[in-house]
């Protein structure tokens, strides 16, 4: 299913220069993607893979079913995919963040003043603090030749090319191998200038990129395991004859969680079955 945006009457009325000034960057991106001139022919607009997504349930204060956990922007409630119409997705995030959450989260926080503060003397706190300090010490000791940004871009390109909204088995296998190479490069050749005991933006970025490498591999591994198309996950091998996402609820109606078993060891897949009491799972179809 697609609709077409015809700018011919607007161009005739306002002139091409006016339309170019207003929408030039959008038109340029469109032409680069589809190799068609939107000033001359109508622009084809059609639902992308993320239109198959659902959203996280929230109440009227944007709080999820987990007390204290709030969800704002396009990810909340049922019309997740329908919300993702370019700027409207940004608008929802802004509206939730600026105009809704400041007036709703305070109702939850007001009760928290009575909750005793967690002690930092607990062994779990000391363990977490020591782990972070050890990671910082390790990163700062490398002093290699690659900047944090260059490794970040390399990882981003892998995720873009092979673990995007549309993926396939061969590409995901390539991604896993390439991410292993990026991890090895990061932990043997990253360069972080400055000191660890002062304000250091490069160190902060390095810690984030280290996490990005882990979550990137997790995403690719989970996507490779799930042999179906569902939600924001579209496997090109699993689609209906009409190009819709092809679900496999018989084998994959579960939420997956991967247990870390130590460096160099394969993680363990843990499954939590998805049971719906009132909602009937069914194939989405945007043609009807």
In whole angstroms, what is the distance from residue 210 CA to residue 47 CA? 34
In whole angstroms, what is the distance from residue 6 CA to residue 201 CA? 47
Lookup result for tokens 């060891």: 265
Task: Summarize pLDDT for 33-55 with one digit per residue, the tens.
Answer: 889 999 999 998 876 656 656 67
- How much is the mean pLDDT over the chain? 88
C-alpha pair distances (Å), 141 with each of 144, 175, 189, 192, 275: 9, 28, 10, 9, 49
In whole angstroms, what is the distance from residue 69 CA to residue 99 CA? 18
First to last CA, the chain: 9
pLDDT of residue 259: 94
In whole angstroms, what is the distance from residue 177 CA to residue 245 CA? 27
Q: Answer yes or no: are the C-beta atoms of 235 and 165 closer than 8 Å.
A: no
pLDDT of residue 53: 63
Asked if residue 205 has pLDDT above 90, the reply is yes
pLDDT of residue 266: 87
Task: Summarize pLDDT for 75-126 with one digit per residue, the tens.
Answer: 787 555 555 555 567 778 888 899 999 999 999 999 888 888 888 889 999 9
User: Can you tell me the mean pLDDT for 206-231?
Assistant: 93
Q: Answer yes or no: are the C-beta atoms of 82 and 286 closer than 8 Å.
A: no
Identify the three-state secondary structure at position 156: helix
* Every domain range in the chain assigned CATH 1.20.58.100: 119-224
What are the tokens at 118? 């967690």
User: Can you tell me the mean pLDDT for 198-208?
Assistant: 96
Report which DSSP code applies to 245.
Answer: B
pLDDT of residue 90: 74
In whole angstroms, what is the distance from residue 259 CA to residue 251 CA? 20
β-bridge mates for residue 233, sequence order:
230
In whole angstroms, what is the distance from residue 179 CA to residue 186 CA? 10
Q: Which region among 8-12, 67-71, 186-190, 227-231 has the lowest average model confidence (pLDDT)?
A: 227-231
pLDDT of residue 108: 92
β-bridge mates for residue 268, sequence order:
259
Task: Summarize pLDDT for 154-188 with one digit per residue, the tens.
Answer: 999 999 999 988 899 999 999 999 999 999 999 99
What are the tokens at 71? 């969800």
pLDDT of residue 51: 61
Give me the percent of the chain exceeding a pLDDT of 90: 61
Per-residue burial over 107-141, b = 16 or more CB atoms within 10 Å of its CB, e = otherwise: eeeeeeeeeeeeeeeeeeeeeeeeeeeeebeebbe
User: Can you tell me the mean pLDDT for 118-144?
Assistant: 93
Q: Answer yes or no: are the C-beta atoms of 218 and 224 closer than 8 Å.
A: no
Which pTM does this prediction carry?
A: 0.73
Fold of 119-224: Methane Monooxygenase Hydroxylase; Chain G, domain 1 (1.20.58)
Half-sphere exposure (CA, 13 Å, Cβ side) for 235?
A: 19
DSSP sequence for 59-72: -TTSB-SSTT-B--
DSSP sequence for 168-210: -HHHHHHHHHHHHHHHHHHHHHEE--S-TTS--HHHHHHHHHH
What are the tokens at 83? 């919300």
Report strand pairing: 166-167 vs 234-235.
Answer: parallel
């Amino acid at each position: 299913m697609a609709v077409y945006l015809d700018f011919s009457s607007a161009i005739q009325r306002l002139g091409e220069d006016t339309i170019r000034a207003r929408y030039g960057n959008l038109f340029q991106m469109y032409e680069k993607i589809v190799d068609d001139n939107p000033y001359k022919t109508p622009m084809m607009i059609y639902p992308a893979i993320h239109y198959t997504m659902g959203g996280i349930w929230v109440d009227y204060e944007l709080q999820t079913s987990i007390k204290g956990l709030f969800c704002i922007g396009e990810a909340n409630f049922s019309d997740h995919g329908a919300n993702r119409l370019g700027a409207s997705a940004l608008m929802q995030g802004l509206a939730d963040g600026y105009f809704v959450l400041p007036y709703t989260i305070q109702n939850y926080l007001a009760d928290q003043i009575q909750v005793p503060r967690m002690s930092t003397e607990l062994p779990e706190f000391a363990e977490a603090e020591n782990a972070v300090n050890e990671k910082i010490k390790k990163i700062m000791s490398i002093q290699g030749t690659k900047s944090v940004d260059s490794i970040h871009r390399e990882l981003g390109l892998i995720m873009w090319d092979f673990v995007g909204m549309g993926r396939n088995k061969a590409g995901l296998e390539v991604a896993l191998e390439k991410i292993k190479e990026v991890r090895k490069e990061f932990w043997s050749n990253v360069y972080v200038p400055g000191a660890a005991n002062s304000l250091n933006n490069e160190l902060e970025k390095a810690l984030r990129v280290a996490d990005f490498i882990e979550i990137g591999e997790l995403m690719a591994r989970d996507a490779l395991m799930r042999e179906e198309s569902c939600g924001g996950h579209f496997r090109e091998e699993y689609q209906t004859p009409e190009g819709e996402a092809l679900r496999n609820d018989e084998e994959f109606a579960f939420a997956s969680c991967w247990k870390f078993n130590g460096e160099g060891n394969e993680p363990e897949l843990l499954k939590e079955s998805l049971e719906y009491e009132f909602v009937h799972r069914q194939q989405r179809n945007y043609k009807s």
